[in-house]
Amino acid sequence: MGLFSSIANMGKAVCPYCFNSFKKSEALWRCNSYQCKNTNIEQDEAYTKFYNLPVNQLQPHIIKMPKVKNGFALCDLCGGMTNVKICPHCHSNLPSTDENIIISIVGAPGAGKSYYVGTLLKQVQSKFPTLKCTMRLDGQNRKLYDTKFKNYFESNKILEKTKQTNPGENIISNNMPILCTVTNSKQKARTFTFFDAAGENFDDEAIMRDVAPYIANSSAIILLLDPTDIPMVRNAICDEKGKAAVEENVISYEDLLNNLINVIKLAHASNAQIEIPLAICFSKWDLIENSPSLRPEGSVTLTPSPHFVQGFSESDCENISSDVEGLLNAWDQSNFILQARAAFKTVKFFVCSAIGAEAEMGKVPNIVSKRVEDPFLWLLNKNKLI
């Protein structure tokens, strides 16, 4: 069994938008025939309510008493076939594959979460063929990727801060997760849902409960940490570049991790060690590479990722993780390591640079990512997809 098996619960599915769980046989079908889309649209109350939309939201027909054969259902109105399955609770389109793997990106405001998700999707789309895999974004998710990331990357504009949701607001309608389908060389397909919230959601355990359903249902968590939040690192960079070079964050690594642990334990109603694999990834590694006093000469963290060149390398992952642990110990962060290992069964350390360099004067240089793919490929390997 792979690490992700808990989600592929016997005949049960979890909606990646509203997080209600239901029997797979309870999914509804929406007709997507040309004829029904044009003539049989109807008011969809569940969808309208979930997304807080104006009341007259119109959607194509939901099939009554569908007859299902080979993954298609016969429409009771037009007689056409459809493969569009929707959630019985919020009526959002369900992923096209049976297993949906949610990856939550957790981290303080400004840690680099949105850059991480955007550049990861960019890298994987272009480099995946070297691992004989493909990543596909459907129409809705391609549009989301383009407006959230691609347009910014291409015009060298800085990504906006992710919007924080007000209390009681639907966290999803402001900030849709991106779903993509990964197919490997053996035609095994999985849907990955990337959930990137505003960093403020993790500042405080009470606010974090808004995102608890995503986090608790995740198949993996990527905890993204800005290395300049480590006092020794911050001091060194301030000495080299001046105080204004580094913004100070309000939440410590320990508090962030503690909030994460508490929210998961509460949602799982269990105090046991957490089974969800945790990838702890240090962002903005270009700052470490370019700092004369911090640059860890000889460390594998300074080398490019080998995975897209020579196939996935487990030993490279091990070497990176132990190098990072060594650096964390040297930077006075051994408590943080102990805290993570005590709470999570599987912990690995990574480094990455999403942009590859610093943004200056409101302009982002052309993206040259380093090692953003490592945690994702590690998770794919654990799940036997690569």
Ligand X SMILES: Nc1nc2c(ncn2[C@@H]2O[C@H](COP(=O)(O)OP(=O)(O)OP(=O)(O)O)[C@@H](O)[C@H]2O)c(=O)[nH]1
Q: How far apart are CA 316 and CA 181, in angstroms?
A: 26
- How many Cα atoms sit within 13 Å of 123 on the Cβ side? 26
Beta strands in the chain (DSSP E): 12-14, 21-23, 28-30, 41-43, 58-60, 67-69, 72-74, 81-82, 84-86, 100-106, 134-136, 178-183, 189-196, 220-225, 278-282, 347-351
By CB under 6 A, name the one of 82, 218, 353, 381 that touches ligand X: 353
**Of residues 8-27, those binding Zn ion (CB under 5 A):** 15, 17-18
Interface with ligand X includes 145 (CB under 6 A)? no
The one segment of 11-19, 66-74, 106-114, 185-193 that binds ligand X by CB under 6 A: 106-114
User: Helices H, strands E: what count in the chain?
Assistant: 15, 16
DSSP 175: S
Strand partners, 378: none
The one segment of 111-119, 148-156, 177-185, 376-384 that binds ligand X by CB under 6 A: 111-119
The one segment of 53-61, 108-116, 233-241, 262-270 that binds ligand X by CB under 6 A: 108-116
Q: Which one, 122 or 284, has the nearer CB to ligand X?
A: 284
The one segment of 4-12, 161-169, 187-195, 282-290 that binds Mg ion by CB under 5 A: 161-169
Q: Which one, 28 or 367, has the nearer CB to Zn ion?
A: 28
The residues, ordered by sequence, that sit 6+ positions from 279 with a Cβ below 8 Å of its Cβ are 220, 221, 222, 223, 348, 350, 375, 378, 379
Measure Cα distances from 328 to 112, 227, 260, 278, 289 in Å.
19, 10, 20, 17, 15
By CB under 6 A, name the one of 80, 110, 296, 306 that touches ligand X: 110
By CB under 5 A, name the one of 3, 14, 28, 31 that touches Zn ion: 31
**Cβ atoms 149, 162 nearer than 8 A:** no
Question: Mask 213-252, x = binds ligand X (CB under 6 A)?
Answer: ----------------------------------------
Interface contacts to ligand X, rule CB under 6 A: 107, 109-115, 158-159, 161-162, 198-199, 283-284, 286-287, 353-355, 358-359
Binding site for Zn ion (CB under 5 A): 15, 17-18, 31, 33, 36, 75, 77-78, 80, 87, 89-90
Interface residues with Mg ion (CB under 5 A) are 113-114, 162
